[in-house]
Amino acid sequence: MVSQAVAFNMFLALFSILLIAVGLMGSSLSGKSGQELGARLSAILPPGSWQLVSESLVRREVNPYNWVLLGWVGTLLVGSQAMKLIIEAKAVAWSLRLA
């Protein structure tokens, strides 16, 4: 039961980490280095995917550091819950070995 909760929390942490990655990618796409990164990504991604990625990352409506901040907060919340569950799982495992 505890292992399922840990796995679910690790799954939720993936989305927080993705928010951090999207925020950092969006902030790095501004300026000359962003154009170079965009050219490299366009060589890797299919045309339809590249259009979606460029439209979502190049928009300046939302500050990309807001996504990074939201990602860090989510990572801290999910990570603290996961650590609590891992400690609980260790306590259960140690008590089983002692009995």
Domain ranges of the chain: 2-98
CA distance 34 to 39: 9
Candidates 66, 31, 71, 37; CA nearest to 54 is: 37
Please give the helix or strand (H or E) that residue 46 lies within, else none: none
Rounded CA Rg of the chain: 19
CA distance 10 to 4: 10
Q: What is the maximum alpha-carbon separation in the chain?
A: 64
Please check the confidence at residue 87 and state whether its pLDDT lies above 90.
no
Please check the confidence at residue 73 and state whether its pLDDT lies above 90.
yes
CA distance 20 to 74: 10
The confidence band for 72, taking pLDDT boundaries of 50, 70 and 90, is: very high
Residue 4: per-residue pLDDT: 87
Please check the confidence at residue 92 and state whether its pLDDT lies above 70.
yes
- Give residue-wise pLDDT tens across range 8-66: 888 988 988 888 887 887 777 665 555 676 677 777 778 777 777 766 666 666 677 88
